[in-house]
Amino acid sequence: MNYYNYNYDLDYNMSSNYYNSNHNMSHYYYDFDNNITSQYLNELFEEYYGDYFDDILSPSSKKSFGNVTMGLIHLFLSLFFMILQILVFTSFYSKRRLFNRTCFEIIFNYGIISFIQQICHIITSIILITYIMEIRLVLSFIGTLLTASYIGNMAFILLLTLNHFDIVYNVKFLNDYLKKIIYLYGIILCYILTVIIFVLLLLLSQCKKSFNFFSFRWVSCVVNLSGENNNFEKYFTFPLLSGSLILQVLIFTKILFLRCYASKKTIFTTDELKIILHTFLCFLTISILELTRDKVIFQIRWTKLLKYVPHILFIILSVSNSLFVLCFVREIRINMPFYKYFMNKNKISTSDGSVKITKTYV
Q: Tell me the torsion sign for CA atoms 339, 344, 348, 354.
A: positive
Taking all residues of the chain, what is their mean pLDDT, rounded to a whole number? 74
Instruction: Say whether both 11 and 145 belong to one domain.
Output: no
pLDDT at 65: 59
Query: Burial of 191 by CB count in 10 Å (0-12 exposed, 13-18 middle, 19+ buried)?
Result: middle
* Residue 299 confidence class, pLDDT cut points 50, 70, 90: low
Q: Please tell me which residue, 348 or 321, carries the higher pLDDT value.
A: 321
Q: What is the mean pLDDT of residues 142-151?
A: 92
- The span from the CA of 318 to the CA of 115, in Å, is 7
The pLDDT, as a whole number, for residue 19 is 40
Residue 41 domain flag: yes
In which domain, by residue range, is 27 found?
A: 2-59
Domain membership flag for residue 280: yes
Shared domain for 51 and 108, answered yes or no, is no
Question: CA-CA distance, 362 to 360, in Å (whole number)?
Answer: 6
- Whole-number Cα distances in Å, 274 to 87, 160, 260, 269, 333: 20, 13, 19, 9, 13
Using DSSP, state whether 356 is helix, strand or coil: strand
Task: Decide: pTM greater than 0.95.
Answer: no
Q: Which residues pair with 2 in a beta bridge?
A: 31
| Residues 146 and 115 sit within 8 Å (Cβ to Cβ) | no
Residue 293 has pLDDT above 50, yes or no: yes
Averaged pLDDT for residues 132-152: 87
Q: What confidence score (pLDDT) does residue 264 get?
A: 59
**pLDDT confidence of residue 262:** 63
155-214 pLDDT, tens digit per residue, is 999 999 999 999 888 888 888 888 899 999 999 999 999 999 999 988 887 777 878 777
Q: What is the CATH number of the domain that holds 288?
A: 1.20.1070.10
Shared domain for 30 and 100, answered yes or no, is: no
Whether residue 341 has pLDDT greater than 80:
no
Q: What is the pLDDT of residue 306?
A: 67
Q: What was the pLDDT predicted at 9?
A: 37
Distance CA 195, CA 27 (A): 43
pLDDT band at residue 267 under the 50/70/90 scheme: low
Domain end position, chosen among 13, 36, 59 = 59
Question: Based on the domain organization, do 92 and 47 belong to the same domain?
Answer: no
Q: Which of 309, 304, 272, 31 is nearest to 170 (CA)?
A: 272
Closest to 114 in 3D by CA, of 152, 77, 73: 152
Report the domain count for the chain: 2
As a whole number of angstroms, the distance between CA 305 and CA 62 comes to 10
Rounded mean pLDDT of 124-149?
Answer: 86
User: If you average pLDDT over residues 119-126, what whole number do you get?
Assistant: 91
Identify whether residues 148 and 261 lie together within a single domain.
Answer: yes
Residues in Cβ contact with 111 at an 8 Å cutoff, skipping those fewer than 6 apart: 85, 88, 89, 321, 322
Residues 55 and 146 grouped into a single domain: no
> Are 276 and 208 in the same domain?
yes
pLDDT at 61 over 70: no
Same domain, 122 and 23: no
Measured distance CA(279)–CA(325) in Å, rounded = 9
Phi, psi (deg, nearest 5) at residue 141: -65, -45
